[in-house]
Each structure stands twice: as structure tokens, then as C-alpha cells.
Amino acid sequence: MFAMILLTGATGYIGSHTWVELLNAGHEVIGIDNLCNSSEKLLARVESITNIKPNFIRGDIRNIDVLRKIFQSHNIDCVVHFAALKAVGESVEKPLEYYDNNINGLLQLLRTCNEFSCENFVFSSSATVYHTENNPPYFENMALGPVNPYGWTKMMSEQILRNFEVASLSTRVAYLRYFNPVGAHASGLIGENPLGAPNNLMPYIAQVAVGRRELLSIYGGDWPTVDGTGVRDYIHVVDLAKGHMAAIDYLTQQKKSLTVNLGTGVGTSVLQLVHAFEIASKKKIPYEIVSRRVGDIAVSYANTDLAKKLMGWSAHMGVDQMCQDVWRWQSNNPSGY
């Protein structure tokens, strides 16, 4: 067990679910977030789930003085790094903001880790780093080739970390490539809370079901898939959070780096997800099929053998459970936090 884990982006969607799992497992955690895409109200929710008051600093990871203060006053020996901007369309419009936040933020964190000899680093990467010409399922050793600035920040971050590992010798990194995280904590107290119109499918469906939006637009009905709609590997965010704990265990026990997909290995189409959500919510989800979204691909899903082999981790929850948990969260919190 670590002395203390620093979670960046701690009040965000995946960060908050991971925080809960880490506290429940007895880890000491300090969270940092600048709240650019999350709310401090989350803290009370984490406390009511875990009965532990979360240790939180509001701050920007690009500010090295803030990071130094944290490392000076806490014995941090593992960083779990979620803080990043993540909207693909926005990254095309504002590439400099994305490179500044995602790359500069990582550099400041690594400088601080170096100064304070923190040797364990868990990085939020994404399936978006894989080259779209690969045929799914995606294996970790397949060619990389992102197609938008957000994806490039993830691939560049992986590269920076790999170079840093060579230079610092004792640093170990878990490169975790997430597929499509969805779902919410079973308590219904925390979940995904997008600000503005959701870019991603599951939160959009949930907001239609709860009456915040009228109609789901399905981007393309003529993809070469089971029903013509796009296929993705949806993974429950609590399974994903547990994947981080498995990665932390691996870093401590094996004292080696690893690169693994975190997905289920199962592909689900847009229409299949809509129908599963209709069953979970007992609501009709009105939709229309519109033209394809620029940059989309037909099918994406993971090969998950390596995560199982190296970390003994695999996802357990299926799409029905994901929809039930999202619906509990969304119907209990129709306007978010």
C-alpha cells in the first residue's frame, strides 16, 4: 500500500469514481482539480459514500508551486493523472489550449515527481491513440495514429512518459488506454455530469430519457455493422476505477511499467445501447438517424487479454448494468450536481 496517492482531475467523472474505490480500499488520497469541468459539490457525495472526508486542493496542475506545496507536505509516492481537457471537437477549435493544458500539465507533474522522487505514475490514455486503419479488436502493440489534437495530446503524453522513464530509471508508468467509459456509482450519488450539451452518446441518451433534451441524433445508419450504427466498447466506470487499483498494485509489486487496454472486449451498437437504456429507464428514447459525424469510425473495441494476464483485472459489468446505474444517477440528479 502507498503512503499517499495524488489524484489529478479528482473531481471529474473518472477521477471521482476512482477516488471512491481507493478510499474504500483504505488508500490515503489527496485530490487536486481546478474545477474547469467539475464541481466541488462532488466532495460531499464522496464523503457520504465512503464516510471519509476527502482531502482536496483546488488548483491547476500547470502551477508547479501548487504541486510542490502538495509534495512538500505529503509523502506522495504515486500519481494517478486524470486532469486533462477531453472534448474532441473543442480540441480541433482550440488546439493550443489542449496542448497547453494536457502537455504542459503533464510536464509540471513530472518535474515535481522528479524533484520529490515519486516513482509511480498512472496515466489516463485513450483508445483514440490507435490508428483508425487497424482492424478491431485493438491490441496494445498495434500502430498508433491519432486524428485530432486531443488524441495527439494523449499520444504525445505517452511518448513524453516513455522518454522520462528512460531518463529517470526508477520511474514506473501504467499507460491505461480507456475505451468508452459510461455508468455511474451504484449509490446514484455520483456520475457523469457534462457541462453543456453532451458530446458523447451515453450522457446524451440519459438527458433525453430524463426530459432535458428532445431527440437523440444518431450519427449514421449505414455503417458496416450489425444494424448500421456505430459500435463501441462501453466499460462501466466502476470497473474502470478498479482497473486503476489493479494497475497501482502492479506497479508496486512488479516494479515495472505496463501498457494495457481497459475495455470489456464487447462491442455494442448505438441502437443496442438505446434499447438497453429504454429497458433500464422504462422510457422511450426518440431518435433520428442523421449523417455521420466527421472523424467517426464504424467499430472500436478492445482486446483485453493483456490486462487480464498482467494485472489479473477484467471488467465484470455489462451494458444493462451500465444503463441501470446511469439511469439511477440521472433520474436522482436530473440537472447534475
Catalytic residues: 150
**Backbone φ, ψ for residue 18 (5° rounding):** -70, -40
The span of 82-90, 136-144, 245-253, 271-279 binding ligand NAD (CB under 6 A) equals 82-90
> How many other CB atoms are found less than 10 A from the CB of residue 335?
9
> Which of positions 102-121 make contact with ligand NAD (CB under 6 A)?
105
Q: Is 268 exposed, middle or buried (0-12, 13-18, 19+ CB in 10 A)?
A: buried
Under the criterion CB under 6 A, does residue 293 sit at the interface with ligand UD1?
A: yes
Residue 34 engages ligand NAD in binding (rule: CB under 6 A): yes
What is the footprint of ligand UD1 within residues 218-247 (CB under 6 A)? 218-219, 230, 232
What gap in Å lies between CA 5 and CA 18, rounded to an integer? 11
For the stretch 269-302, what's the b/e string if a residue is b when 16 or more beta carbons lie within 10 angstroms of its beta carbon?
A: bbbbbbebbeebbebebebeeeeeeeeebbbbbb
91 binds ligand NAD (CB under 6 A): no
By Cβ distance, which residue is nearest to ligand UD1?
230
| Interface with ligand UD1, residue 272, by CB under 6 A | no
Considering the complex, what minimum distance in angstroms separates the CB of residue 323 from ligand NAD? 16
Decide whether 146 or 181 has the Cβ nearer to ligand NAD: 181
Q: What is the DSSP string of 258-275?
A: EEEEES-S--EEHHHHHH
Residue of this chain nearest to ligand NAD (CB atom) = 12
* CA 284 – CA 231 distance, rounded (Å): 21
Is residue 199 within the footprint of ligand UD1 (CB under 6 A)? Answer: yes
Among 23, 84, 266, 276, interactor with ligand NAD by CB under 6 A: 84
At 236, which helix (H) or strand (E)? strand 234-236
CB neighbours of 309 closer than 8 A, spacing ≥ 6? none
Out of ligand NAD, ligand UD1, none, which partner does residue 54 contact, by CB within 5 to 8 A per kind?
none
200 binds ligand UD1 per the rule CB under 6 A: yes
The listed partner (ligand NAD, ligand UD1, none) that binds 112, CB under 5 to 8 Å by sort, is: none
Could you tell me the smallest distance in angstroms from the CB atom of residue 101 to ligand UD1? 16
- Alpha carbon distance 159, 136 (integer Å): 23
Handedness of CA 288, 297, 301, 330 (dihedral sign): negative
> Rounded to an integer, what is the distance from CA 26 to the centroid of its chain?
22
Residues 312, 314, 317: CA angle, nearest 5 degrees: 150
Q: Which of 5, 7, 19, 33 binds ligand NAD (CB under 6 A)?
A: 33
Strand order in the sheet with 258-262: 55-58, 29-33, 5-8, 78-81, 120-126, 172-178, 258-262
Q: Does 61 bind ligand NAD (CB under 6 A)?
A: yes
Residue nearer to ligand UD1 on the CB measure, 97 or 296: 296
Q: Least separation, in Å, of the C-beta of 284 and ligand NAD? A: 26
Nearer residue to ligand NAD within complex by CB, 30 or 83: 83
H or E element that contains 152: helix 149-168
Q: Per CB under 6 A, does 252 bind ligand UD1?
A: no
CA atoms within 13 A on the CB side of 298: 13
Stretch that binds ligand UD1, among 27-35, 68-76, 113-121, 196-204 (CB under 6 A): 196-204
At position 100, the amino acid (one-letter code) is: D
Residue 35 binding ligand NAD, by CB under 6 A: yes
Q: Is 37 in the site for ligand NAD (CB under 6 A)?
A: yes
| Site residues for ligand NAD per CB under 6 A | 9, 11-15, 32-38, 60-62, 82-86, 101, 105, 124, 126, 178, 181
| Site residues for ligand UD1 per CB under 6 A | 88, 126-128, 150, 180, 199-201, 204, 216-219, 230, 232, 270, 293, 295-296, 300
